[in-house]
Structure 1
Amino acid sequence: MVSQADIGDNNANENIQVNDLTIRNKSSSFDSERDFKTEIYLGNDEKLLSSSEKDDEFINENDIERQKTNYSELYIDPEQRPPIFKSAFQEFICVFLCIFGPAAASMASSAYQTMLQPISEYFHVDGGKLTWSVSSVMLANGACLLLMGGIADAFGRKTAMIIGFSMYALFSFIAGFMHNYILLCLFRGFQGASVACSTPAAAGFLGSTYKDSKRKNMVMSCFGIGAPVGGAAGFFVAGVCIIAIDWRAAQFFFTILFGFLAILVFIFLPNDNKIDWNHCKKVFKGLDYIGALLSLSAFTLICFSLTDVTSAPHGWRTGYIIALLIVGIFLIGVFVVYELYVPQNPLMPMQLFKNKNFCLCMVIASFCWMVFFGMLNYNAVLYFENIKGYSIIIVSCCFLTQPISGILVNIFAGFTMHIIPGRILMSIGCLGFLGSSIIWATVSIDRNYFLGPFWAFILTVVGADLIYNIANRVTLSSLERKLQSRGSGTFNTILQLSSAVAIGLDSTIIQSKYSAYGTPQQNNDPVALLHAMKYSYYFAIALAGSAFCVSLFLKVGAIGKAKK
């Protein structure tokens, strides 16, 4: 038996015996990812792998090495603090910083959902065009997540997070000065693209640092708080900024927040390897730029056709709307075929799609995120502001239910994922979205907040957090360590693009039942507006119900359960 002290020192030529597996450490430094070389042997001393001879090869021996990385190899007890952290405080700060990777895009999008009315009045924009101030962040983030994963490969995860947070702060600052609506949407798109650099890096760092364990469950549950709770927090941030100053203050708040976070990443996150510019050139030459262009073009055309249909001269009978939608769908097919057969290093690790559980998880997560961001939360702002007549600060307080309940749900997930099978947690999450959709579909103008929306918000967060946690862990456990960041990028890409498409679908559904939607006369008939919104909720019920049916076919057991 090897004690913790035996593996904590940075001594060269150290042999570690773990049952029948021997790991021979050939490096005296744990700080350099590139210099840490290992050789793995079976009990009969037959050499299986030398990472100095085979660059990042992957072996699958009863899944023992599936999650092995050069960080997790440094210790035996999966429940101990990884030795790359010098203290519990540093570990806490690093996990906290990683949470803001997935939180950034959803926070910026939800903030602008709260600010739709002042933005509409300032720029004199309404209808489908107004939704671009929200969906531009999610669309750019989703389209660039896979490509930006290459920056993490080239420069290291710490550097990628610093670049992502810094650029996000910079473009937030520039967007705060925009007086042209198109330029505002453009720089908000740059916000989404820049933070796409940090999301896969953060997920890859956490996934590669921790062994499968209850400790990792808790850490990844904290990471899962990012997207849903970050989105809910965006509502509150925007409400306070609008009341205190004006809508531009939210942009400057993001500048200060993420600029400060970039400094903290530089100080606290463990050092990566020194940048090897020759390696960087090879990475950038090998990036799949054509695949990125195809995916961006496809989803931009689809989102444009779905959002602009409300302001098109003849609605769905307008020629360019149908044409762009068909071209967008066609480009998705081209993208899939291209990724399968052409690039040597495709944007998406295509072996992911050979995993049945991953495919089912992505279908479930996609349907539920369409419900979450595209229908429930987006329409909730419309309901509180335009139908109930609440002030912006009251609307922000209404949304506080989500981050508070989200923290509690993630704590629950962290303590139970090693006990409760993942398929059951996924089914519970789908039922949460289904219950929330039903509540919103039956809500009336006069219903009290605590008799309807309050419970809907709680059920929404139960669904979002449980599904994100399980789907994220299934994604990371399906890939070897060198593809952890790309796997996370694939997962978050699907979520972001699903959200962007859903906002367009939501606007189309409401406008088809209430022709004044998206016009200055939109609020003249609150009863008719609410009636039209309910058709969107009916569609949300169908999506959540379909996701629940799909979850019944999952075969995901307890995650992080100790191996005997």
Structure 2
Amino acid sequence: MAQPDHQAQSPATASAVIAVDDNIPTTATVPTPEKHDIYALRKYLRPLMLYVVSAAQFLDIVNGASVSVAIIPIAQDLQFSVPLLPWILNAYTIAFAGLLLFSGRMGDMFGHRVILIFGLFWFATWALVVSFSTSPIMFIIARALQGAGAACTVPTAMALIATNYPPGVERTKAFSVFAAFGGLGAVTGIMMAGGLIATVGWRWIFRVSSIAAYVLVALAFVVVPIVPKKEGVAKPRVDYLGAAASTLGVTGVVYYIIMGNEDGWASPKTLPILAVGILLLIAFGYIESKIEYPIMPFRVWKSRRFTTSVIAAFILMGMMQGFIFYVNMIFQEVYQWSAIKTALGFLVHALLAIIVFTILGKTMHRLPLKPLILAGFVLRCAAALMFAFVTPETSYWRLPFPGLILHVFGVGFSMLPTQITAVRDAENKDQGLVGAIYNTGLQLGAPFGLAILNTVAISTNGQQGGAGAGVRGGPELMAGYKNALFGIVAFGVFGFILSAIILPWDRPARAPKPVTDKNQDPESQKDETTIEAFGDKEEVRGEKEAELAEVEAFALDADLAGIPSALSEDAGDDSTIASRNEKA
């Protein structure tokens, strides 16, 4: 059948001219919402996509935090031996961190939607298996496999946001929602675990997670857009050797960080594994520099924003993991609170996080990012200092309550801008990889930070005062907790200095504004744009073209996939799509 003339097409069909090479254009006809019900359905359900992918991250964080509260009842019920106790947490963490890079890249190559849905289904299935565990070995294996599923969800969730929301206000608002879900996760996990353990038992922590994940699988099938394959594009080739080297290398390093605190940093049980992990990562770097289809192209590290954001995420997550853990220990050990009362103590943190991230989502696009990140480090240091001076006689309202408030603002000011800067310079084809590297930084930072802080606490209190204690030691343990909280402050000072020196001064990418020039005619003025930014004029000029190209490329990609622009009332209008394609 002959292809209809491009100019004569009705508004009911959107067309786009794609340059296959420099001389041969082809026209692709794309169905619009009115012609195909599935696109119309996705137009109205599109806002749900953001909440589905955000809930995937939320579920992972809730699961990790809730299990940390349930260590003692799990160990008692399944009769864990002392050497196996750390694996209640570590099996999940090691599998998750080790597979992040591989799963993120698979999303870039084979579709983020497919990897997300598979990861959620895998996570849900093994969470259910965990809930029926009858032995420590069954629990550990199922937890590791559950962590593998989570590794498929978090980087692809970030990539789906970055590829479905254009740069500027829309993407900033979307990432603010995503970060808000993450900020709520840790505290929600603690509160949920406290309630479930006190009522129906620890097994329901995993059953609730499983049910929620299965619901997300069903929703993701409907609301996450299907991006059609582009004709003429070669089938992606997988760098299996690099994938194996990176997965095993990261796993070895994470294992050493986690287990080194238990078995000793120079122990023959851990040191050889670290050595093998480092050698594998060196081999991974060599493989990636030689292969034509690398799993981690080195081009992503050329962005100063991205590199600094990954390092900052590593530090920030170490601070957060340590803060939540030692505040929890202060409530239960120093104040001698029950699990339920401890959960209520964190309630202000959870409720205020909703407000803080909502406000940031509406205002972030007007604010410079670097000062926010620096302010976040300062606030989180102040929160740690407040808890460092808590005594058994200190009123909750005097230091813990304002400390939790400061920490919420610190998390919002630091984590959300860091997340935005991490993905800002990445191309769409690398968004899954960038999200995976960023989350690998988070996953490495959490156990590393807690391991260092736990060493500080143990050196003060003795073996009963560390993260793996599981024994009520009473208020006398506060001395070690105090020094660990000072360690959090030291992390924050280091992160502040690093970000102040290296991180560029700029705003999130914003929608371009027309330049007014009296010497230009109105038509030519429409094509001139400027971007508000902080920094050198040359850097701003260089970024302007890149950001405009990114916006235009995003609009064209969205049209080709039949995806209306998010958070936009007229995004799905035929006239808008047709107009864009005529320009293309």
TM-score normalised by the chain length of structure 1: 0.79
Q: Which moved more, 1:215-224 or 1:85-94?
A: 85-94
1: CA distance between counterparts of 2:4 and 2:80?
Answer: 65
Amino acid in structure 2 at the alignment position of 1:221 = S
Q: 1:191 to 1:525 in 2, by over 3 A?
A: closer
2: CA distance between counterparts of 1:180 and 1:272?
Answer: 43
Q: 1:153 to 1:223 in 2, by over 3 A?
A: same
Decide whether the 8 Å contact of 1:203 with 1:485 is kept in 2. Answer: yes
Q: 1:227 to 1:294 in 2, by over 3 A?
A: farther
- The correspondence for 2:170, drawn from 215, 234, 248, is 215
The equivalent residue for 1:534 is: 482
The answer to whether the aligner puts 1:254 opposite 2:203 as a matched pair is: no
Q: Which moved more, 1:127-136 or 1:262-271?
A: 127-136
1: CA distance between counterparts of 2:265 and 2:437?
Answer: 32
TM-fit CA distance, 1:174: 0.5
The answer to whether the aligner puts 1:364 opposite 2:296 as a matched pair is: no
Q: 1:206 to 1:456 in 2, by over 3 A?
A: same
Q: 1:519 to 1:138 in 2, by over 3 A?
A: closer
2: CA distance between counterparts of 1:229 and 1:144?
Answer: 24
The answer to whether the aligner puts 1:353 opposite 2:306 as a matched pair is: no
The equivalent residue for 2:372 is: 425
Amino acid in structure 1 at the alignment position of 2:205 = A
- The correspondence for 2:58, drawn from 94, 100, 103, is 103
Decide whether the 8 Å contact of 1:90 with 1:268 is kept in 2. Answer: yes
The answer to whether the aligner puts 1:175 opposite 2:130 as a matched pair is: yes
The equivalent residue for 2:383 is: 436
The equivalent residue for 2:241 is: 290
2: CA distance between counterparts of 1:130 and 1:403?
Answer: 29
- The correspondence for 1:386, drawn from 314, 333, 340, is 333
- After superposition, the CA RMSD in angstroms is 3.6
Structure 2: any 5+ residue segments left out of the alignment? 514-584
The equivalent residue for 1:467 is: 414
Determine helix, strand or coil for the equivalent of 1:38. Answer: strand
* Residues 262-296 of structure 1: per-residue CA shift (max 9 Å, x gap): 111112223333799x999x44xx33333343344
Determine helix, strand or coil for the equivalent of 1:418. Answer: helix
TM-fit CA distance, 1:331: 4.2
The equivalent residue for 2:525 is: none
The equivalent residue for 1:80 is: none
Q: 1:317 to 1:474 in 2, by over 3 A?
A: closer
TM-fit CA distance, 1:85: 7.0
Q: 1:522 to 1:160 in 2, by over 3 A?
A: closer
TM-fit CA distance, 1:238: 1.2
2: CA distance between counterparts of 1:396 and 1:321?
Answer: 35
Within a 5 Å distance, the mapping from 1:207-356 to structure 2 comes to 207-273=162-228, 282-283=235-236, 286-309=237-260, 311-312=262-263, 315-316=264-265, 318-339=267-288, 341-356=289-304
Decide whether the 8 Å contact of 1:135 with 1:500 is kept in 2. Answer: no
The answer to whether the aligner puts 1:501 opposite 2:448 as a matched pair is: yes
TM-fit CA distance, 1:351: 1.5
Amino acid in structure 2 at the alignment position of 1:143 = G
The equivalent residue for 2:434 is: 487
Decide whether the 8 Å contact of 2:333 with 2:473 is kept in 1. Answer: no
The equivalent residue for 1:545 is: 493
2: CA distance between counterparts of 1:513 and 1:192?
Answer: 33
2: CA distance between counterparts of 1:51 and 1:437?
Answer: 60
The equivalent residue for 2:88 is: 133
Structure 1: any 5+ residue segments left out of the alignment? 1-10, 16-23, 31-35, 41-46, 54-69, 76-82
Decide whether the 8 Å contact of 1:352 with 1:475 is kept in 2. Answer: no
- The correspondence for 2:462, drawn from 491, 512, 515, is 515
* Residues 156-215 of structure 1: per-residue CA shift (max 9 Å, x gap): 232222211111110100111112223323322222211222222222222122222323
Decide whether the 8 Å contact of 1:523 with 1:529 is kept in 2. Answer: no
Q: Which moved more, 1:423-432 or 1:144-153?
A: 144-153
The equivalent residue for 2:545 is: none
- The correspondence for 1:38, drawn from 18, 21, 24, is 18
1: CA distance between counterparts of 2:25 and 2:178?
Answer: 30
TM-fit CA distance, 1:391: 1.4
Determine helix, strand or coil for the equivalent of 1:225. Answer: helix
* Residues 215-269 of structure 1: per-residue CA shift (max 9 Å, x gap): 3221111011232222221112211211221111101011111111111111222
TM-fit CA distance, 1:481: 1.3
The equivalent residue for 2:353 is: 406
* Residues 79-121 of structure 1: per-residue CA shift (max 9 Å, x gap): xxxx967577513211110102322321111011111221232
The equivalent residue for 1:43 is: none
Q: 1:266 to 1:420 in 2, by over 3 A?
A: same
The equivalent residue for 2:118 is: 163
The answer to whether the aligner puts 1:558 opposite 2:507 as a matched pair is: yes
The equivalent residue for 1:450 is: 397
Q: 1:12 to 1:109 in 2, by over 3 A?
A: farther
2: CA distance between counterparts of 1:561 and 1:119?
Answer: 49
State how many pairs are aligned: 502
1: CA distance between counterparts of 2:131 and 2:274?
Answer: 32
Q: 1:200 to 1:12 in 2, by over 3 A?
A: farther
The answer to whether the aligner puts 1:148 opposite 2:148 as a matched pair is: no
2: CA distance between counterparts of 1:249 and 1:331?
Answer: 39
TM-score normalised by the chain length of structure 2: 0.77
1: CA distance between counterparts of 2:253 and 2:155?
Answer: 25
